[in-house]
């Protein structure tokens, strides 16, 4: 019974947090001076045109009426239209998100691979120069601003590896002949490799610390001493017995970090001109695209809430102590 109570409470808390996030997202964009129309800059943006736009967007109504309209539209999946392209905001966000998701997945893979490897080695070689090097290296990358690290990679690494530093595909791809599926996939991977590597290097230090701490705790358990007494090699003891039982905090960390890494992709995508959700937000700020900004901020907030809920549910599923 306690297990079901845990799940229900976490889900209800997540739903309440979503409602608070939606409300704050509404208030945030109306608490600033001016509105979505006052920032428009164009030849045809006369006062009459702006008044018409305010009526179309419902900005001439009271804040409470605007709020009820906002909730009603969200319930129907309507996030408004882009002030720049007149396209539905959900279509604009989805087009950018389709580019961001593979890059985030690749960056998470880099972070997990580097973090788990260095964390296990650091715990195995505790107190040695290898342990200190892994710890300080992970902390150093974790403290670097993503945009600064991205610029360093562009200036000093990209040309040596022969990798592109901007865009999502080669401009000349498909001009002379229709490219094959493999050629398109390889070209896409080349363009997302550096931004994904930037995100992975920034995040992997967190995995290193968590894996090292969990491994040190696990390697001190009685069953580890028993496996050593049976004559198992250090490699078998660390990987087959220690690492498997230290995976719980790593799995929950993956779910938690995914929500925040999407927000961290904003500056990285801007550095590499990668057309994802991050670059879309920067362009929307430059172009004063009020509707796209509001939709993007809500999307990022909901992603953090969702992955936090996922982490709670995974912890409940994997840790029997929570179900007791």
* 44 pLDDT tier (thresholds 50, 70, 90): low
pLDDT in tens, 266-309: 888 888 989 888 888 888 887 777 788 888 888 888 888 888 88
Tell whether domain 89-288 is in CATH 1.10.3720.10.
yes
pLDDT of residue 234: 67
* pLDDT beyond 70 at 12: yes
Query: Lowest-pLDDT range, 5-9, 58-62, 104-108, 296-300?
Result: 58-62
Q: How confident is the model at residue 231 (pLDDT cuts 50, 70, 90)?
A: low
Q: Cα(152)–Cα(132) distance, rounded to whole angstroms?
A: 24
Question: Residue 83: is its pLDDT beyond 70?
Answer: yes
pLDDT at 112: 87
Residue ranges of the domains in the chain? 89-288
Task: Find the angle CA(137)-CA(144)-CA(167) to the nearest 5 degrees.
Answer: 115
pLDDT at 39 over 80: no
Pairwise CA distance, residues 17 & 73, whole Å: 19
Task: Give the pLDDT mean for 206-233.
Answer: 75
How far does CA 46 lie from the centroid of its chain?
40
| Mean pLDDT computed over every residue of the chain | 80
Band (1; pLDDT cuts 50, 70, 90): very low
Long-range contacts made by residues 182-189, C-beta under 8 angstroms, separation at least 24? 188/102, 189/106
Beta-bridge mates of residue 88: 81
Q: Quick one: residue 275, left, alpha or beta (phi over 0 = left, psi -120 to 50 = alpha)?
A: beta
């Amino acid at each position: 019974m306690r297990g079901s109570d845990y799940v229900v409470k976490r889900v209800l808390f997540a739903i309440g947090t979503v409602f608070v996030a939606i409300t704050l997202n509404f208030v945030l964009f109306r608490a600033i001076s001016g509105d979505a129309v006052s920032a428009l800059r164009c030849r045809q943006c006369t006062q009459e045109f702006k008044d018409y736009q305010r009526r179309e967007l419902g900005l001439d109504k009271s804040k409470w009426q605007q709020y009820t309209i906002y909730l009603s539209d969200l319930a129907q999946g309507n996030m408004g239209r882009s002030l720049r392209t007149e396209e539905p905001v959900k279509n604009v966000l989805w087009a950018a998100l389709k580019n961001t998701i593979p890059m985030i997945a690749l960056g998470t893979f880099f972070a997990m691979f580097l973090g788990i490897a260095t964390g296990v080695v650091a715990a195995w070689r505790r107190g040695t120069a290898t342990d200190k090097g892994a710890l300080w290296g992970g902390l150093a990358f974790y403290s670097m601003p993503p945009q600064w690290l991205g610029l360093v990679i562009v200036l000093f690494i990209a040309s040596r590896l022969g990798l592109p530093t901007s865009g999502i595909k080669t401009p000349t791809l498909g001009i002379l002949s229709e490219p094959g599926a493999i050629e398109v996939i390889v070209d896409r991977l080349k363009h997302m490799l550096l931004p994904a590597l930037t995100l992975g290097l920034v995040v992997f230090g967190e995995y290193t610390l968590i894996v090292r701490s969990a491994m040190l705790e696990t390697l001190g358990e009685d069953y580890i001493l028993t496996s050593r007494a049976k004559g198992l090699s250090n490699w078998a003891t660390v990987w087959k017995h220690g690492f498997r039982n230290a995976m719980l905090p790593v799995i929950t960390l993956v779910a938690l970090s995914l929500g925040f890494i999407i927000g961290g992709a904003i500056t990285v995508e801007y550095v590499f001109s990668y057309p994802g959700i991050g670059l879309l937000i920067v362009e929307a700020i430059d172009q004063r695209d009020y509707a796209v900004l509001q939709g993007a901020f809500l999307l990022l907030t909901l992603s953090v809430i969702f992955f936090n809920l996922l982490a709670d549910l995974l912890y409940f599923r994997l840790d029997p102590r929570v179900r007791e």
